[in-house]
Amino acid sequence: MVESTSGTPAPEGRQRALQEELRELVDLVGPAPLVDLLLERAFQLRATDIHLDPTRTGLRVRLRVDGMLHDVLQLPPELMNQVVSRVKLMSGMDITERRFAQDGHISSAVLKHQRDVRVGSGPTIFGERLVLRLMPDTTTFNQLEELGLDDEQIRLLNAAMKLPYGMILSVGPVGSGKSSTMYSCLERLNEPGRSLVTIEDPVERRIDGIAQIQTDPKINFGFVEALRGILRQDPDVVMVGEIRDPETAHIAIRAGLTGVRVLSTLHANDSTATVDVFRDFGIPPMFIADSVNCIISQRLVRKVCESSFEEYQPDFPDLAILGIDPSQAHEVRLRRGIPADINFHTGYLGRTGVFEVLSIDTTVRSAILGNASAKELRAMAIQNGMQTLEQSAIKKVRAGITTLSEMHRVLIVD
């Protein structure tokens, strides 16, 4: 049985329309209007990145939407250098230097609205490659309830934020939504009676009422130097954009032990693996147990397109993965998207998070002090009721929010 809905997507929501629009402009205007329109449409599509890749036949233009790259245009060789130079000029790079990697920044003032763009360049065998990272809209914030956390996970996170000191960490790979989660926590803690400070590279969103600090490696002003300075300025809440090295980890841990609420992100596979990362940083188990209050592990999964989908009955292998009794198979209907213009012919539109939230309670704290392995900590947390990333994803599949194939793409499911 197929149940499809149809809508009338805006022109800017259609991949073909964008391709045709840009192709027409190539023959009519110069590189400046073409780059301006590309940026404008990328923001409208909620793209996170623009890739400009030189090839043997010209410049390949792609947009990353919902975590996936999509081809939108192939520019002829004669326009390649003009477009690259235009972007480098806008971002303050040296347009004459093509041998080395450069970093640049297109400010919101240049774009005439409150959106920043970070630009990175690098040489390839066919010419310069550029990647533009589109910063989030500074005026919009997601509440915790909108990120994909369920009620029990929000309860655990709220309880951790109410504690007067200690660390709350969001962990996962690049592009898993860690910063958005920390910004949502920061927004919830943002009250007039508190002193809140962030250390970021780069500052992704500007927030009223919060002192935000941009690190600058060129002058040796990194996370360590900024964090040391901040801790002498009477903060109540400090958000460290990312813990990347042992020295930052040690200072952040000590801050969490001395009356400061610390929010940060870290690269770790899951919540309990975070403990091993801190051990590798040389932090004693006693400090980890006493300073860390809550660890959120997360991934982003694409959502089934609400405007173009169908319902279907899962087969027996799918039922086993979802934990559904085969005798109840006739009662189960899952959703999958139908490829259409509105969803870039993927069947998906938008993303949501899947989470596991590890609250460092007395039992877990004692296990950390006893040098329990990450595997042992994980088994203990699951036994105590922690919902894993896989369980969170399965709930969203059964609710028709995402699909089994998307769950398998993002997570390694046994």
Identify the DSSP state of 95: T
- Report strand pairing: 309-312 vs 237-240: unpaired
- Residue-wise pLDDT tens digits, 10-38: 433 456 677 777 777 776 677 788 898 89
Please give the mean pLDDT across all residues of the chain. 90
List residues bridging with 54 in a β-sheet.
59
Phi, psi of 370 (to 5 degrees): -85, 10
pLDDT for residue 148 is more than 90: yes
Confidence of residue 114 (pLDDT cuts 50, 70, 90): low
pLDDT for residue 113 is more than 70: no
Q: What is the pLDDT of residue 3?
A: 39
Domains of the chain listed by start with CATH number = 11-134 (3.30.450.90), 144-410 (3.40.50.300)
CA distances from 13 to 9, 30, 43, 47, 165 (A): 6, 24, 11, 11, 45
Distance CA 386, CA 389 (A): 10
Residue pair 224/248 in contact (Cβ under 8 Å)? The answer is yes
Average pLDDT over residues 316-321: 91
Q: What is the pLDDT of residue 195?
A: 97
Q: What is the pLDDT of residue 7?
A: 39
User: What secondary structure, in 3-state letters, does the chain show?
Assistant: CCCCCCCCCCHHHCHHHHHHHHHHHHHHCCHHHHHHHHHHHHHHCCCCEEEEEEECCEEEEEEEECCEEEEEEEECHHHHHHHHHHHHHHCCCCCCCCCCCEEEEECHHHHCCCCCEEEEEEEECCEEEEEEEECCCCCCCCCHHHCCCCHHHHHHHHHHHHCCCEEEEEECCCCCCHHHHHHHHHHHHCCCCCCEEEEECCCCCCCCCCEEEECEHHHCECHHHHHHHHCCCCCCEEEECCCCCHHHHHHHHHHHHCCCEEEEEECCCCCCHHHHHHHHCCCCHHHHHHHEEEEEEEEEEEEECCCCEEEECCCHHHHHHHCCCHHHHHHCCEEEECCCHHHCCCCEEEEEEEEEEEECCHHHHHHHHCCCCHHHHHHHHHHCCCCCHHHHHHHHHHCCCCCHHHHHHHCCCC
pLDDT for residue 227 is more than 50: yes
Average pLDDT over residues 60-72: 93
pLDDT for residue 397 is more than 50: yes
Whether pTM > 0.95 for this model: the answer is no
pLDDT for residue 2 is more than 50: no
Q: What is the pLDDT of residue 243?
A: 96
